[in-house]
Structure formats: C-alpha cells, structure tokens
Amino acid sequence: MGITDHAVPLESGAPEVTDELARWIWAESGTERATRERVDGATITYPGRNNALASLAGSMRRRGMTQAEIEAALIATNATRVEPPLDEADVRRIAKSVSRYEVADDVLKLVERGQSDPVYGDEITDGGITTMTLKQIAELPDPGYKPMLGPLVYRGLRTLVGAATGEGKTTLVMWMLRAIVEGEGFLGYQGVGPDENGKKPTVLIIDAEQSVPDIQRLANETGMTDSENIHYIPAPDGLNLGESTSDALQVERIIEQMKPDVVVVDPAYKVASIDSNSEREVVDLMRLFDRWRAEYGFAFIMPVHTRKGDKANPGGGPTLDDIFGSGAFSRGAEVILGVKQGEPGYSRLYVWKHRPGELTKGTHVDMAFDRESGFSQIYRESIQTVQQIIESAMKDVPEGLTIDEIHYRTGKSKEQVRKAISQSGGKILGEKVPGSKRKIYRLSGSNDEEKLVSDDDLERWIAKSEIERD
C-alpha cells in the first residue's frame, strides 16, 4: 500500500451534487465503524465529522470518482448534513488527500472504514513509519519555551498544581493569573503582561467546583473584580467533557472564538464523567486537553487534588506520587508543582517535575501569604550547625557541662556531641570528674580559673543537674 506522488488534477466545472448522487453516496458508503447506524439523510455531528467525510470520500474514490467530483460531493454534504459544518478548507483537504490514492489501492478500504487518516497520511511513506537523522532533527526550527510566568507557566505547555483540599492551590493559581495578566511579579518571576499594543493576556477558567460567592471572594482578594480579561465557565455541578460530548463541543467553540492565552481547568476530576482512577478514561480526557492546547496554543493550568496524608510518612512533605487518581493526570505535564501549608500564613511550593529544566526537581520555595498582597518568597536564616548549637548551649553554663548534659540541653545525640568536641580545635576543653569516668566540658575562656571548678562544687553541680533532669 502506498501513496502516489501525483494527485488527481482538480477539474474545472465540478458537477452539482444532485439528490440522486447524494443517495448513492450514502448507499455506497460502507457499513463499517464510520457509517454504521446511519440512515439516508442523517445528520453528521461532532465528533467524527472528519472521519465520516473521509469515509464517503474513500468510497467514492474506490469507484473511480475524481478529486473534483469528490470535493463537490463533500462540500455539499458538509453544508447540508454536518453539524456544525467543517471549514471548507478542511473539506477540500480531505478530498485532495483521498484522491492521491490509486483507485485500486487497498488503503482506501481502511479510509472507507474509518481505520486510516487520509489527511495526515499525506506525509507517510509506504511503510507508514519514517526516520530522521539527528542532523535533520537539529536543523528543525526550535519553537523554544515561551514563558508566561517565568519557569512556572509556559505557552503551549501543561502546568499541574497539586495540593490537598484547603491547602490553597486555587488561591495560588489566581495570584499567578493576576501576575500573567497584569505583568506583575510572583515569587521573583515576571508575568508576561500586556503586549506592545497594551492588550492584556486573556484567561479562560473552567471552574467545576467553586460557587459564585467563592469566585467573588477570590476576585476581591486578588484585586481583580474589574478584570475583563479573566473569563469563567462556572459549572459547580460539573461538566461532561469528552470527544463525543456536547459539553466539549461548546467549550471548544468558546476557545476557538476567544483564543485565550491561558486555560485553567479546576478541578480535573469534575469536568468529565469519569473514574479518576481509570487509566483509559483519564488518558482520553488528557488527550482532549492536549489536542486543544496544541491546536490553539494556550498555556494550560490544571489544579489537582492530592491524597489526604501518607500513613507511612506522617508529617512528611508531599510528593508527585501523592496526586490523586490515575498517573495519566501528570504523565504528559511539563511542569508539576505541589503546595503544602505550614504555620498560619506560611506554605511551601514544591517542584515535582520541570521538563524545560529551569527549575530543579526536588527543590522548594518557602512562601508567606496574606490576603492583601498575596504570596511572597521568604528566605529563612541559615540553620545553625550542630557545632554552633552545642557551643551556644555551653556559653549559658560557663562552669561546664557533661556530655549527658549537653545531649539533654541540645537534643543532639551523644555521638554528635562527642564529634563536635573533637572537631572544636581546642575551643572546648574537658576535665575528668574526680572519682568518676565522666568528664566535664566548657568553652575555653569561659572561666578565668585554670581549674574548671572545685571538686566539692563539681559534685554538688552534678547532683543538682541530675535532679533537674529527672
């Protein structure tokens, strides 16, 4: 099976498609997947328009019809029986693609049955699979990554934000959107903002969870109540997105007309009537989203829920494995972030995956949050070393401490205490306690006397310390 190097020439004066010809097309169009259960004059609906017209074209080509005849028939059928109609250019492309096959080519049988794509088949070699050298790949135009908010959001890529219920992922995303639309900073990164003509980015949010009061609260908190650039599809009762649903058709129409720069789906599991743990159903949903972002070129942000806790690691930081549902939610995402709340007013942003490479997987950013200014990065003072902690504790007791007492006061293991003493370079001095195998330690210079303490004072101090510890 193969595609010929020549196309059937487009003849002038394409014939009119009469009712008789139309009935013949339907009668002869086969009984396989693409056309079964159809009746004479039935409407062709989304999805499956391309497949149905290609099936008809394949049937006509097998019977020797020319490109002009096929094109005229498909244009007439598209205008009267396809809802919504395809663009005429797409119809002509189908006719041209099918007409490139020889009449006796077996691939036309597959096209007629809906088992082969004649449009994208244009570029396929006889074997159906082709190769490219690394040199050819290297010479391809590099589209690059087009950031809309530093390394967090890119045009054409998918960003997931995972967090447990109530951890602030929706609030975080809204502040990210404000930075993108207004060209403001967010955690040290700059939003893309208005273009050279002053036009701000357009955002479409498909919100299948929040009520109108919740949306109003977010708008007030972020100072976006007057924004005409952020559009909502509020659907708190959920949607049923999928290639074969009317909801998907309506949403795609909105996307096609609006041409948004960013699309947010929140949350993913409520925009389709699927089982979140079903690999097949989630894969199909992600394919729909990926087709949209590839075709319309928007940045795609999808908040996702994480599980309610890790019994094996209570109190530990969340990981990519904690995302609820099938792994297909995150498999094709280029950027995956996680959010975890800490003390009131503080949270942490984790980097779980970053295909562009500007952020390092496994790192995190500590954030402060208030409802007036949003999120800001905080830089904690460097944590004291064990050596510094031990020396600080010893300064408070110039008369000296035993290893047990240093361990008790600092919470550091006895092994850590001994290591700190041995690595102090003489800064920590020790003296054996009379009548005991233990030693008492002090910082050099913490007592002007050569002897740490008198034997009597030392015994009284040890006894006192042991009583306090008990």
Please give the structure tokens belonging to residue 436: 């005991």
Q: How much is the pLDDT for 82? A: 87
What CA–CA distance (Å, rounded) separates 143 from 219?
Answer: 34
How far is Cα of residue 149 from the mean position of the Cα atoms in its chain?
A: 14
Residue among 198, 173, 204 at smallest CA distance from 183: 198
Name the pTM for this structure.
0.57
Burial 155-187 (b: 16+ CB within 10 A, else e): bbbbbbbbbbeebbbbbbbbbbbbbbbbeeebb
Per-residue model confidence (pLDDT) at position 27: 53
The rounded radius of gyration (Å) of the Cα atoms in the chain is: 35
Q: What pLDDT is attached to residue 180?
A: 97
User: What pLDDT does residue 26 have?
Assistant: 52
Q: Would you write out the chain's pLDDT as a tens digit for each of its 470 residues?
A: 333 333 333 343 444 555 555 555 555 443 333 343 444 567 887 667 887 888 888 888 888 889 999 999 999 888 888 888 888 888 888 888 888 888 887 778 777 776 565 654 433 334 446 777 888 878 877 767 899 999 999 999 999 999 888 888 999 999 999 999 999 999 989 999 999 999 999 999 999 888 889 999 999 999 999 999 999 998 888 888 876 678 888 898 899 899 999 999 988 778 887 788 888 888 888 888 988 888 888 999 999 888 765 544 555 678 888 888 888 888 889 999 999 887 778 889 999 999 998 888 888 888 888 877 789 887 654 445 777 888 888 888 888 888 888 888 887 788 888 888 887 777 888 888 777 777 888 887 644 433 344 445 545 554 554 454 44
Q: Spell out the CATH class of 146-377.
A: alpha beta
Furthest C-alpha separation in the chain? 121
Take residue 316 and report the two structure tokens written for it.
């530990």
| Residue 409 to residue 384: CA distance in whole angstroms | 15
Look at the chain and count its residues: 470
pLDDT digits 0-9 by tens, 74-115: 998 888 888 888 888 888 888 888 888 888 877 787 777 765
Cα-based distances in Å from 312 to 5, 309, 315, 318: 62, 9, 10, 12
Rounded to whole angstroms, how far apart are CA atoms 383 and 314?
23
Helix (H, G, I), strand (E, B) or coil at 159: strand
- pLDDT at position 9 is 37
Tell me which amino acid residue 11 is.
E
- Cα–Cα distance for residue pair 337/318, rounded to 1 Å: 10
The pLDDT, as a whole number, for residue 379 is: 66
Task: Check: CB of residue 335 under 8 Å from CB of residue 159.
Answer: yes
- Cα dihedral 163/168/173/174 (nearest 10): 160
- DSSP string over 403-456: HHHHHHHH---HHHHHHHHHTSTTSEEEEEPTTSS-EEEEETTS-SSSSSS-HH
The answer to whether 355 and 334 have CB atoms below 8 angstroms apart is yes
Tokens describing residue 405: 């007492």
Burial class (CB in 10 A: 0-12, 13-18, 19+), 342: exposed
246 phi, psi to nearest 5 deg = -70, -30
Count of CB atoms situated within 10 Å of the CB of 387: 17
The dotted CATH code for 386-469 is: 1.10.10.10
How far lies 28's CA from each of 25, 75, 125, 128, in Å?
5, 18, 29, 28
Q: What is the DSSP string of 35-103?
A: TTT--TTPPEESSSHHHHHHHHHHHHHHTT--HHHHHHHHHHHHHHHEESPPPHHHHHHHHHHHHTS-T
